[in-house]
Amino acid sequence: MPAEDDTRERREAERRRLEERRREEEDKETGPYQKLEKIGEGTYGVVYKATHRPTGRVVAMKKIRLENEDEGVPSTAIREISLLKELKHNHVVQLLDVVHEESKLFLVFEFLELDLKKYMDTHTKAQNTGLPLQQVKEYLHQLIQGVEFCHQRRILHRDLKPQNLLIDEHRNLKLADFGLARAFGIPLRTYTHEVITLWYRAPEILMGSRHYSTAVDMWSIGCIFAEMITKRPLFPGDSEIDEMFKIFKILGTPNETVWPGVSALKDWNPEFPKWQRKDLRTLVPGLDDEGLDLLEQLIDYNPARRISAKRALLHPYFDGMAHSTHHRMDMRGY
């Protein structure tokens, strides 16, 4: 009975929509925060613009979607999140507060309107090119500083992409969602069932490695670096196997020589097509020799050989750039 099934599905979808709207109305006020509007749906749930009623400060509130809402918020997640409040750095979005109400969890962050994806879309539409090379260098430097700060504290991101790199009014780049992967895992789909992008995912994750390190974030940084220059994603795969093949077609199909241990990974297949490595210079025209060398070290197949954030900051590509070592002060009175 296809027509009946269709009607039933439509009714069910409408019921869910009404239920969602009812919940949103109930949720207008959460702790000392007043929600103003929904501004997006990210990896972990709905994001709202809100105000902190006692001070009038505008904030971003992420309502975390929990897999088993009936069971409440896992204590491990609460522990992980409380640690993130200690991450204070110029290039990391500040977690200001955590509101835990019954089975709901809201994370309150400083509010930033613009992300790198929107910024690149606007700029490249106007200029029809990638970002100016000096600006690429500045943003890459800021990104690696934020990542290095978190890696020093043994916190990985695991899902770095232009959408969660936010830009403030002073053109500072700040990393959002650091540490959330460890607290909540990375779902396969977003709150609205959009597939989470694989374009920035390290090959060891794609190949099913259970043990990965800070190197996964460095791979993502390499992909973002190239995209800022060319305005095109470096490896735009639409499934895990397509993503792997997009990487192989550019870097060559890996083997034990370039990546010791690759053949032991869960999703490795000796029958993978054998592609030859391309010259990266042809893919990122305009990038100087130092920049090209850094990019190659960021997207090295071998996680053990991939450049660390600490070493990347010392790379000759950044010669002459000031390193902002000062961490942001506590927000007094908040």
- CATH number for the domain spanning 85: value is 3.30.200.20
The answer to whether the CB of 162 falls within 8 A of the CB of 128 is no
- Whether residues 228 and 265 share a domain: the answer is yes
Determine, yes or no, domain membership for 4: no
Residue 327: the pLDDT is 40
> For residue 130, what is the DSSP state?
-
Instruction: Look at residue 229 and tell me if it is in a domain.
Output: yes
pLDDT band at residue 332 under the 50/70/90 scheme: very low
206 & 285 share domain: yes
Residues 104 and 238 in one domain: no
Looking at residue 25, its pLDDT comes to 58
Is a pLDDT exceeding 70 seen at residue 284?
Answer: yes
Q: How far apart are the C-alpha atoms of 91 and 167, rounded to whole Å? A: 9
Residue 95 has pLDDT above 60, yes or no: yes
Mean pLDDT of 69-96: 81
- The verdict on residue 23 lying in a domain is yes
Does some domain include residue 223?
yes
Q: What is the pTM of this model?
A: 0.84
Q: Is 62 annotated as a binding residue?
A: yes
Does the structure show a pLDDT above 60 at 190? no
Q: Which of 75-84, 244-253, 302-311 shows the lowest mean pLDDT across its residues?
A: 75-84
Same domain, 233 and 151: yes
Please identify which of the residues 115, 159, 177, 217 carries the catalytic annotation: 159
Q: Which domain holds residue 45?
A: 16-110
Is 31 within the bounds of a domain?
A: yes
Whether 64 and 118 map to the same domain: the answer is no
Region 295-321 average pLDDT = 97
Q: Are residues 101 and 239 in the same domain?
A: no
How far is 234 from 298, CA to CA, in rounded Å?
13
Within this chain, do residues 34 and 85 fall inside the same structural domain, yes or no?
Answer: yes
Last residue of a domain, one of 49, 81, 110: 110
Among 198, 35, 168, CA closest to 92: 168
- Averaged pLDDT of the chain: 86
Predicted pLDDT at 104: 80
| 279 is an active site residue | no
Higher pLDDT, 77 or 117: 117
Residue 330 pLDDT level (bands cut at 50, 70, 90): very low
